[in-house]
Amino acid sequence: MSAASDNAVYDVDANAPATPGAVIHAAGLTKRYGNTAALDRADFEVSAGRIVGLIGPNGAGKTTALKAILGLTDFEGELSVLGLDPRKQRPALMRQVCFIADVATLPRWITVSEAVDFVAGVHPRFDRARCQRFLARTKLQPRQKVRQMSKGMIVQLHLAIVMAIDARLLVLDEPTLGLDILYRKQFYQSLLEDYFDENKTILVTTHQVEEIEHILTDLMFIRDGKVVLSTDMDALGERFAEVLVNADRAEAARALKPLDERQVFGKGIFLFDGVPRAQLEQLGEVRRPSVADLFVATMKGTYA
């Protein structure tokens, strides 16, 4: 294995001004718990009409970043969400934001109709008729309580409520944790088909990166409280490349300073950042790396 990636930090422009109309802009975002920095001068930006994956290992700062964005924790540095300061303008912000964490967070005693009534009473952008249309596609019954539902049914209830809220920003923190693959696919497909449009922005964290890769427009990796990679998916394919290299070309590949090297069936797979494709084609078969492979290469050493 190459050691080049053990301390890899990809370029993020910390001094760039906020893009006009940016949904989220953070500069020097810092949050400490005692001597531990959960966020360490993190810099990132999310534009409108994007689906952004915020990916990182446990303890990297994902949930803390989401809490800051939602106004649920104080912080140091600069952070604006939909042009508002989450610390000082949270009531106004939450009229335009929707949040889903682990799908098991609904009170177990609440019924479907009570959940709908509650959201209708507290969220000014909730469309009850739209929610009922989504519920009609499911087997959920108005008097059915959460404790009587499977986890997949709770997902359906969450989706029906969320998709009936005309929120400009949807924040998802491990929304399909514990669900089987059928419900996970249904969840993300429903988001794409029934919710997302150019006026909405979705920020999602998950460990199941291979399952959301196809829906993402942008990708951010976070490690040790810092955003170490921020790119759109098109640029990712242009910037990063994997090369399947025979043993006799391995040293030539290593001379180009790959981010990572691994062995599969006697051949080396080298991951490169910014090396011209024509140069890589001389080494072997070139392909676009998966988000999961890029993540593993970036995070090596994190779990040591």
Task: Name, in order, each residue with C-beta under 8 angstroms of 76's C-beta and a sequence gap of 6 or more.
Answer: 28, 29, 30, 31, 32
Please state, in angstroms and rounded to a whole number, the distance separating the CA atoms of residues 94 and 87: 12
pLDDT digits (tens, 9 = 90+) for 200-218: 999 999 888 888 888 999 9
**Helix 151-162 to helix 181-190 angle, to the nearest 10 degrees?**
0
Q: What pLDDT is attached to residue 163?
A: 83
Q: What pLDDT is attached to residue 202?
A: 94
Q: What pLDDT is attached to residue 10?
A: 45
Handedness of CA 209, 215, 219, 220 (dihedral sign): negative
Please state, in angstroms and rounded to a whole number, the distance separating the CA atoms of residues 79 and 29: 7
Q: What pLDDT is attached to residue 73?
A: 93
Distances (CA, A) of 87 to 18, 90, 238: 18, 6, 38
Q: Is 84 in a helix, a strand, or coil?
A: strand
pTM for this prediction: 0.84
Q: What is the DSSP letter of 195?
A: I
Q: Which residues of the chain have a pLDDT value below 70?
A: 1-21, 102-104, 301-304
Taking CB atoms within 8 Å and a gap of at least 24, the contacts of 128-131 are 128/164, 130/163, 130/164, 131/160, 131/161, 131/163, 131/164
pLDDT digits (tens, 9 = 90+) for 257-278: 999 999 888 789 999 999 999 9
Q: What pLDDT is attached to residue 243?
A: 95
Find out whether 242 and 256 touch, Cβ atoms under 8 Å: no
CA 143 distance to own-chain centroid = 34
Q: What pLDDT is attached to residue 209?
A: 84
Q: Which CATH class is domain 236-299?
A: alpha beta
The domain limits of the chain are 236-299
Q: What pLDDT is attached to residue 6?
A: 41
Q: 145: which strand partners?
A: 111
Please state, in angstroms and rounded to a whole number, the distance separating the CA atoms of residues 193 and 178: 23
Please state, in angstroms and rounded to a whole number, the distance separating the CA atoms of residues 146 and 106: 7
